[in-house]
Chain A
């Protein structure tokens, strides 16, 4: 304050008492420099009366108490009084000094009170939000913003470490604050310009920065993991003592944890335990890594008050999050159960369909065999010139086609009921391809097998996968010219096994690929080649997959991924 006086020096002057009449001092016998003796003064006659204090011109008492006691002119008048032998001039400085001390103390108390009121108001505001929030990210954002924002506790940087009961350690979870001076300057300038309230700042932080902040201090956070059993570590000491620990001059103090100071890059930091209902939730480390402003006891006390609602909110939000996960799991399980029930109903229906299909197919196959068989017999015996020969050929051809459709229908109805077991894929490949040796020889195609040894057993229906391999091989052969090469490979693929069949024949168009693998009963018509789509259906039913890649220059690769473990099908 501009007009504050150092009156302590003045009090050193002790004036001898001389009895002098008051009237002599009150009136105009002495010409006083200060206005203390006047009931009313003219505007601007006292330079210490400022704007907005104009009522002091007419308020004698308040002017003396608020202005004159600190006015240098008043001091001069007191000195003159003493010289003139005014009877109270010796004690007046004592009274004045005491008055000023009291006034100063009152001012300090008022200031303290104001600061505490602000703090309580701030804590109440933050506490209310923390109390009502169930969202862990929101709680984190509010807590960390409150610690690091100028409108909050104004620390430069804060780290949150959470206790992990399963792993029995304390682990770095989130760091908030600038990494260097430039970032600090930019951030603080932005915040200054935005004029956000603390709540708005926290919301903005959660929306725009939380994800990036979670990884920003990854390097530091990774080094902050401490076992809960390490009783001597400062984090555990703070948690056990349930009191914050202020570390100062850490780099030069052998008694303190210099390792932690080196990780943080500061020699003064605060370790604040987060405890909720005797449960150790975690620890907050706060420092002033940019400004290097000392952390005061008052900072520590304020943060300690703040730590309780933060710990409580963190615990509640974590529990809520876990509850949500459990609810989601439960919902997932219910959904799965419903699906399983629907599947059972569907399977029962399919079983019935399968039985009927199989029965019809059997009933049709015998007459077909007779019709087609005798047609062939007649065809064999008829001379090449016989006009009716073409009729017989038609019967043979159509019968053959009907028999193919029947086989596909029966294959499909059988595919509804896979018998799952663990099989050696390489053995399956070798056996299945051996059956096709004649066909490949006829097509003039060379088959190269590249089978990876020591593959894990695959969980499949042997017959169906063998069917898929044979069907894909037959499809590939159809696209190949004589002299082509077919490659069949088996290999590890993550936790599964990959079966790959590659040809160097004509590339399948995208449309052809889609048509080949379209769901069996939706787009394909019987007798127009349901082979690959049936393969896809079979593989998907067993929890496996089929993909086709066609190279523009020629050649197609069919990849089947098979599972090695019992999965949900």
Chain B
């Protein structure tokens, strides 16, 4: 079972992610801030992280950069309300980019794609 870390400052969204992604068979751990996310990353190991870009008083992009720097094997998907970051070079470090939607199918597809890619890379 793949273990996912979901970082979003909105409690309801974290709850929705946890519900929907658990239904898909993932083990979901949530974090409400970048600080909490870093702590959980240090104490636990994950297969993939889903980050919001706009966190309260923090930037998901900075968190992304830190993850890439410290744990370069952990794939990251950015999930945000802003589509404009998709073409922002700072977001290119991420393995995937999804615009937030009530229909979470796109996010689920993206998670599956990135994990499959990671799996393939590991077997090679």
Residues of A within 8 A of B (CB): 358, 361-362, 365-377, 380, 396, 399-400, 403, 407, 410-411, 414, 462-463
Q: Say whether A362 contacts B16, CB under 8 Å.
A: no
**Contacts A370-B10, A377-B20, A410-B84 known; 6 new A-B pairs at CB < 8 A:** A362-B54, A370-B12, A374-B12, A377-B19, A407-B83, A462-B87
Q: B103's contact among A361, A367, A372, A463, by CB below 8 Å, is which?
A: A372
Q: Whose C-beta in chain A lies nearest to the C-beta of B102?
A: A372
With A362-B54, A396-B102 already in contact, the answer to whether A374 and B81 are too (CB < 8 A) is no
- Closest A residue, CB atoms, query B82: A362
CA distance A85 to B37 in the complex (A): 157
Q: Is B119 close to A, CB under 8 A?
A: no
| Interface assignment of B101: CB less than 8 Å from any CB of chain A | yes
With known contacts A396-B102, A403-B101, A369–B83 Cβ distance under 8 A: no
B102:A368 contact, CB within 8 angstroms: yes
Cβ A400 vs Cβ B19 within 8 A: no
Most buried by A among B13, B20, B100: B100
B residues less than 8 Å from A373 (CB atoms):
13, 16, 20, 102, 104
In the bound complex, how far is the Cα of B105 from the Cα of A380, in angstroms?
A: 13
Count the B residues whose beta carbon is within 8 Å of the partner chain — how many?
19
How many residue-residue contacts, CB under 8 A, span A and B? 62
- Cβ distance B85 to chain A, nearest Cβ, rounded Å: 11
Interface 0/1 of B45-87, CB less than 8 Å to A: 0000000001000000000000000000000000001111001
- The smallest beta-carbon distance between A186 and chain B, in angstroms, is 73
| Complex contact B81–A362 (CB within 8 A) | yes
Given that A358-B82, A373-B16 are known contacts, is A463 also in contact with B87, CB under 8 Å in the complex? yes
Q: Known contacts A365-B100, A369-B102, A372-B103: does B13 contact A410 (CB below 8 Å)? A: no
Q: Which residues of B contact A410 (CB under 8 A)?
A: 82-84
CB-CB under 8 A from B12, the residues of chain A are 367, 370, 374
Task: Indicate which residue in A362, A370, A377, A463 contacts B13 across the interface (CB closer than 8 Å).
Answer: A370
A138 to B100, CA, bound (A): 72
Interface residues of B (CB under 8 A from A): 10, 12-13, 16, 19-20, 23, 54, 81-84, 87, 99-104
Indicate which residue in B83, B84, B99, B102 contacts A375 across the interface (CB closer than 8 Å): B102
Interchain CA distance A373-B19 in the complex, whole Å: 10
Is there contact, CB below 8 Å, between A370 and B16? yes
B81 touches A366 (CB 8 A): yes
Q: In the complex the two chains form, what is the Cα distance from A361 to B23 in whole Å?
A: 29
The residue of chain B having its C-beta at the shortest distance from the C-beta of A380 within the complex is: B23
Residues in A with CB closer than 8 Å to B81 are 361-362, 365-366, 369
Asked whether A414 lies within 8 Å of B10 as measured between CB atoms, the reply is no
Q: What residues of chain B lie closer than 8 Å to A374, measured between beta carbons? A: 12, 16, 19
Q: A369–B100 contact, CB under 8 A?
A: yes
CB neighbours (8 Å) of B16 from chain A are 369-370, 373-374, 377
CA separation between A187 and B81, bound complex, in Å? 81
Q: List 19 A-B contacts (CB under 8 A).
A: A358-B84, A369-B16, A369-B81, A369-B100, A370-B10, A370-B16, A370-B102, A371-B102, A372-B102, A373-B16, A373-B20, A373-B102, A374-B16, A375-B102, A396-B102, A403-B101, A410-B84, A411-B83, A414-B83
The answer for the CA separation of A371 and B15 in the assembled complex, in Å, is: 12
Q: For the complex, give the distance between the alpha carbons of A399 and B54 in Å.
A: 22
Question: In whole Å, how far is B65's beta carbon from the nearest beta carbon of chain A?
Answer: 22
Contact indicator A376/B103 (Cβ below 8 Å)? yes
In the complex, what residues of A have CB within 8 A of residue B104's CB? 373, 376
The distance in angstroms between the C-alpha atoms of A372 and B100, with both chains bound, is 11
A396 (CB) vs chain B CBs: closest residue:
B102
* Contact B101–A369 (Cβ < 8 Å): yes
How far does the alpha carbon of A369 sit from the alpha carbon of B101 in the complex, in Å? Answer: 5
Closest partner residue, chain B, to A381 (CB atom): B23
Give chain A nearest CB distance to B2 CB in angstroms: 20
Q: Complex formed: what's the CA distance from A403 to B102 in Å?
A: 8
A372 CB to nearest chain B CB (Å): 2
On whether A366 and B13 interact (CB within 8 A), knowing A373-B20, A414-B84, the answer reads yes
Tell whether, in the assembled complex, residue A399 and residue B102 are in contact, meaning their CB atoms are under 8 Å apart: yes
State the Cβ distance, A376 to closest chain B Cβ, in Å: 6
Q: Which of A366, A373, A375, A407 has the most CB of B within 10 A?
A: A373
A372 cross-chain contacts in B, Cβ below 8 A? 101-103
Q: Taking each of B19, B54, B101, B103, which has the highest tally of chain A beta carbons within 10 Å of its own beta carbon?
A: B101
Among B16, B81, B87, B102, chain A packs the most CB atoms within 10 A around the CB of: B102
